[in-house]
Homo-oligomer: A and B are copies of this chain.
Amino acid sequence: MALEPGDVVEVVKNGVTYRGTVLPRTEEIPDNVLMIKLKNGYNIGIKITPETEIRILEKGEPPKKYSAPIKVEHNPELPTAALVATGGTIASRVDYKTGGVVAEFTAEDFLLSFPEIAELANLKLKQVSNIFSEDMMPDYWVRIAKGVGEMIKNGVDGVVITHGTDTMHYTAAFLSFALQNVPVPVVLVGAQRSSDRPSSDAAINLLNAINVAVNSDLAGTFIVMHETMDDAWTTIHPGTRARKMHTSRRDTFKTVGDKPVGRSLVVTKGGKIVDRKIKIWRHEFEKRGQKGFKIDAKANSNVFLLKSFPGLRKDIFEHILLNHDGVIIEGTGLGHVRQELIPVIAEATESGVFVGITPQPLFGRVHPHVYSTAVKMMEAGAVYLEDMLPETALVKLMWALGHSKDREKVKEIMLTNYAGEITKRSRPDAFW
């Protein structure tokens, strides 16, 4: 009997027994790998070898269609949010009965999964991609920026972008630079656990992202995700200062080196919203309706993010620096590399490569004047990027090099604060 999605199986391999529900094949999975969903909600892949034993414990039910799809009617009382789907865990739902992955969410799917949305906003949906965020590339960022920009120009009260969490902060940084003087909140949101797990954070995150998008006076690009492990407040992070700081916790995103923008709370009971709140801490972001919106989505992705470490080979350092248009170095301490490597920086910058220095410690500011190493690095042409996060600096350099090849112009762009990526003075309380 052939295996079909939804079958409950027992797989014995190398003395280990796995029990779970067969998931449907996707293009991404090699032919010899069987994906099953375990009872604890995790999906695992098992490479099938001639020795692997598979027993079908129970045949799955045929895929079940929603018998009564929800009719989405425009509610003129409510604001309208653009819901831009890019993929990621938040949009990967598995039907427990069939094991079938619902990969492409439609507006109806979202409403079916999260019916409370209908109380918050009308939705305009756009699917830009359907990928896990580790596959996100700079050209996708450009596509997302243009798609979002068009929807804003056509009139929405806010934008929510569903996105995998792995690289959400890289995308958020790009949109922060590419969507200039945006008049509404652009909110990225994701989930750490897929919507089909009892512990999923998808619903709370999505409801709060929509709440912030349509009910706040913010304008700019933000990330909204769980503030703690509890299903309570979510935090609003600035798009250029958020970082994924934990592999699996729901409160994985943190604002690094600055204060979060604010927080949002949506309380539901029996499928109804019974309370919602928004608290803004950083009022400089409250500029809904600002003028001068411009979609400036260009990127030259030929940039490398290099973490300096003891033992980094000079020839490899040289290969990396001389084969890119720009390199962001995560320098140790106040922004250092081994002194032996400095002539390579000089060689690269002389041949037109932009070399930017960011803090490997993540918190705090790089500084070219404290130690002689940094003085020499600066003399060699390295540009010290203040307290810009390494990931944000990478994205910003791709964006800057998309605008100009002129070194001085790129330097000027890199050292100009556009969206909170450089602070004038580090906050003493912005450390843990």
A367–B247 CB distance below 8 A: yes
Q: Give chain B nearest CB distance to A100 CB in angstroms.
A: 16
A338–B137 CB distance below 8 A: yes
A30–B376 CB distance below 8 A: yes
B372–A28 CB distance below 8 A: yes
A338–B134 CB distance below 8 A: yes
Q: How far is the CA of A313 from the CA of B428 in the complex (A)?
A: 38
A310–B170 CB distance below 8 A: yes
Q: How far is the CA of A420 from the CA of B221 in the complex (A)?
A: 39
Within 8 Å of chain B (Cβ to Cβ): is A103? no
The A258-276 residues at the B interface (CB cut-off 8 A) are none
Contact with B along A141-164 (1 / 0, CB 8 A): 100000000000000000000001
Q: How far is the CA of A401 from the CA of B302 in the complex (A)?
A: 32
Chain B residues contacting A362 (CB-CB under 8 Å) are 245
Chain B residues contacting A33 (CB-CB under 8 Å) are 375-376, 379
Q: How far is the CA of A398 from the CA of B302 in the complex (A)?
A: 30
Of the candidate stretches A212-220, A279-287, A329-337, the one touching chain B is A329-337
Q: How far is the CA of A308 from the CA of B137 in the complex (A)?
A: 12
Counting chain B CB atoms within 10 Å of each CB, the highest count among A45, A339, A360 belongs to A45
Chain B residues contacting A375 (CB-CB under 8 Å) are 29, 33, 35, 44-45
Given contacts A45-B375, A138-B311, A319-B319, contact A363 B304 (CB under 8 A): no
The A309-357 residues at the B interface (CB cut-off 8 A) are 309-313, 316, 319-320, 323-324, 330-340
Of the candidate stretches A63-71, A248-256, A405-413, the one touching chain B is A248-256
Given contacts A44-B375, A135-B339, contact A309 B319 (CB under 8 A): no
Within 8 Å of chain B (Cβ to Cβ): is A2? no
Chain B residues contacting A241 (CB-CB under 8 Å) are none
Chain B residues contacting A365 (CB-CB under 8 Å) are 247-248
Within 8 Å of chain B (Cβ to Cβ): is A418? no
Chain B residues contacting A403 (CB-CB under 8 Å) are none
The A9-49 residues at the B interface (CB cut-off 8 A) are 26, 28-30, 33, 35, 42-45, 47
Given contacts A47-B379, A132-B373, A332-B167, contact A311 B247 (CB under 8 A): no
Contact with B along A275-298 (1 / 0, CB 8 A): 000000000000000000000000
Q: How far is the CA of A201 from the CA of B394 in the complex (A)?
A: 33
**One of B310, B320, B432 near A137 (C-beta < 8 A):** B310
B364–A248 CB distance below 8 A: yes
So how many copies of this chain end up in the complex? 2
Chain B residues contacting A398 (CB-CB under 8 Å) are 311
A333–B134 CB distance below 8 A: yes
Within 8 Å of chain B (Cβ to Cβ): is A369? yes
Q: How far is the CA of A267 from the CA of B47 in the complex (A)?
A: 61
Within 8 Å of chain B (Cβ to Cβ): is A305? yes
Within 8 Å of chain B (Cβ to Cβ): is A307? yes
Within 8 Å of chain B (Cβ to Cβ): is A303? yes
Within 8 Å of chain B (Cβ to Cβ): is A120? no
Q: Give chain B nearest CB distance to A122 CB in angstroms.
A: 32
Q: Give chain B nearest CB distance to A133 CB in angstroms.
A: 7
Contact with B along A231-257 (1 / 0, CB 8 A): 000000000000111111101101000
B305–A309 CB distance below 8 A: yes
Q: How far is the CA of A42 from the CA of B432 in the complex (A)?
A: 26
Q: How far is the CA of A278 from the CA of B42 in the complex (A)?
A: 44
Chain B residues contacting A81 (CB-CB under 8 Å) are none
Q: How far is the CA of A65 from the CA of B188 in the complex (A)?
A: 63
Q: How far is the CA of A137 from the CA of B338 in the complex (A)?
A: 9
Q: A166-B333, A248-B367 are in contact. List 4 more A-B contacts (CB 8 A).
A: A44-B369, A133-B332, A137-B338, A245-B362
List 15 contacting pairs A-B, 8 Å CB cutoff, sorted by A. A42-B369, A43-B369, A43-B372, A45-B372, A135-B339, A138-B310, A164-B333, A244-B333, A245-B431, A248-B365, A249-B364, A249-B431, A302-B313, A305-B309, A306-B307
User: 7 shortest A-B CB distances, which residue pairs?
Assistant: A247-B364, A45-B375, A432-B432, A166-B333, A134-B336, A166-B332, A301-B311
